[in-house]
Amino acid sequence: MSAGLGIAQAQSTEPPSSWPSKPVKVVVPFGPGSTPDILARLVFEKVGASTRQPFVVENRAGAGGNIGTNAVAKSAGDGYTIGVSITGPLVNNTVLYKSLPYDPFKDLSPVTLAVIQPSVLTVPATLGVNTVPELMALLKKNPGKYNYASVGAGTVAHLAVELIKAKSGTYIVHIPYPSSPAAVTSLLTGDTQIAALAPAAVIPQVRAGKLKALAVTTKERYPGLNDLPTFKEVGIQDVEATAWIGIVVPSSTPAALVERINKEVVAALKDPGVAEKLRAQFMEPVGNSPREFAAFIQDELKRWTPVIKRAQVSLD
């Protein structure tokens, strides 16, 4: 499969210069308070102010992001349904599932890579471990006893821990949740004991002393989280799992309209006020072209396919 640009399959109902002339729906395939939801509300509030039309966020969570992403794929390509999605429903689920209700490479057009963010390996403070080596020792003594939370099958939160398991020789049971707040709640209540989640989801509870952050899944230490080591630093090689959030539209959206949407979203991402708020949530703004985002998606497919196959993860 290859990520195409979804060149127009239908004629636009209005010229791109007049878009938007009515409210726009922004579909987030995860729950309120999740990192895609935070991104959507920050960015599209700015786009709405710029275009003088409301951009209404609609949360359609479930099935690892497939439900909401499918809703975007099946929408009219008229610029009035925009999707905010992540690695799982846009890339990894094509490998994890034998069949999907949509083909992200044919039914969706990339608009822009919005932000990148690390994942933070986190445990409840009550677990009694303070370092990754301590956690690995606990897991090896008790294979299958502990659970890890993710924000859905096929997401980076899922595959990052699968990668950690493979590299450390440990076994932990996967429990998916519909959003990062739900996954964090599971850590706090003791339903799960481990998670690799976006910083915005866990750092507030880390600062409150309820959770303990052990490491970041980036190649180098991450700005703002400089006290957290990389996995290489704690003796586990080749654990790199950068989360990201991108903007997509139905593939029937005319190329000129895709470019118009791209222009507005990238301008919002590069606005100093928006960028500051995103960085406060440990999200690094990107804002690139549709073609660059399409190439990035292909790179992600190449990166994660062998991880999924090596871990023998299949969801149907």
**What is the total count of domains within the chain?**
2
Strand 108-117 with 120-124, pairing: unpaired
Residue 262: is it exposed, middle or buried by C-beta count within 10 angstroms (0-12/13-18/19+)? Answer: buried
Give the total residue count for the chain: 316
111 and 247 part of one domain: yes
Per-residue pLDDT at 2: 44
Walk along the chain (316 residues) and give the pLDDT tens digit of each residue.
444 444 334 444 577 888 999 999 999 999 998 889 999 999 999 999 999 999 999 999 988 889 999 999 999 999 999 999 999 899 999 998 888 999 999 999 999 999 999 899 999 999 999 999 999 999 999 999 999 999 887 788 988 999 999 899 999 999 999 888 999 999 999 999 999 998 989 999 999 999 999 999 988 998 889 999 999 999 999 898 888 999 999 999 999 999 999 999 999 999 999 999 999 989 999 999 999 999 999 999 998 898 888 777 777 6
Q: How many CA atoms lie within 13 A of 202 on its CB side?
A: 31
> What whole-number distance in Å separates Cα of residue 95 and Cα of residue 88?
10
Residue 231 inside a domain? The answer is no
**pTM of this prediction exceeds 0.85:** no
Per-residue pLDDT at 13: 59
Residue 78 inside a domain? The answer is yes
> What whole-number distance in Å separates Cα of residue 94 and Cα of residue 314?
11
204 and 277 part of one domain: no
Residue 139: is it exposed, middle or buried by C-beta count within 10 angstroms (0-12/13-18/19+)? Answer: buried
Answer yes or no: are the C-beta atoms of 4 and 110 closer than 8 Å. no
80 and 20 part of one domain: yes
Per-residue pLDDT at 32: 93
Helix 180-189 to helix 199-207 angle, to the nearest 10 degrees? 30
Cα 71 to the center of its chain, rounded Å: 17
Q: Pull the structure tokens for residue 220.
A: 């180098």
Dihedral sign from CA coordinates of 173, 175, 180, 181: negative
Residue 132 inside a domain? The answer is yes
Q: Which of 35, 31, 97, 102 is nearest to 71 (CA)?
A: 102
HEC string of the chain? CCCCCCCCCCCCCCCHHHCCCCCEEEEECCCCCCHHHHHHHHHHHHHHHHHCCCEEEEECCCHHHHHHHHHHHCCCCCCCEEEEEEHHHHHHHHHHCCCCCCCHHHHEEEEEEEEEECCEEEEEHHHCCCCHHHHHHHHHHCCCCCEEEECCCCCHHHHHHHHHHHHHCCCCEEEECCCHHHHHHHHHHCCCCEEEECHHHHHHHHHCCCEEEEEECCCCCCCCCCCCCECCCCCCCCCCCCEEEEEEEECCCCHHHHHHHHHHHHHHHHCHHHHHHHHHCCCEECCCCHHHHHHHHHHHHHHHHHHHHHHCCCCC
Residue 307 inside a domain? The answer is yes
147 and 211 part of one domain: yes
Interior CA angle at 159 toward 306 and 178, to 5°? 140
253 and 110 part of one domain: yes
- Residue 256 sits in a domain whose CATH number is 3.40.190.150
Q: Pull the structure tokens for residue 152.
A: 């859905």
126 and 112 part of one domain: no
Answer yes or no: are the C-beta atoms of 198 and 217 closer than 8 Å. no
Residue at a domain's end among 164, 197, 216:
216
As beta bridge partners, residue 108 has 250
Residue 266 inside a domain? The answer is yes
User: Which residue range(s) make up the domain with 194?
Assistant: 120-216
- Residue 168 sits in a domain whose CATH number is 3.40.190.10
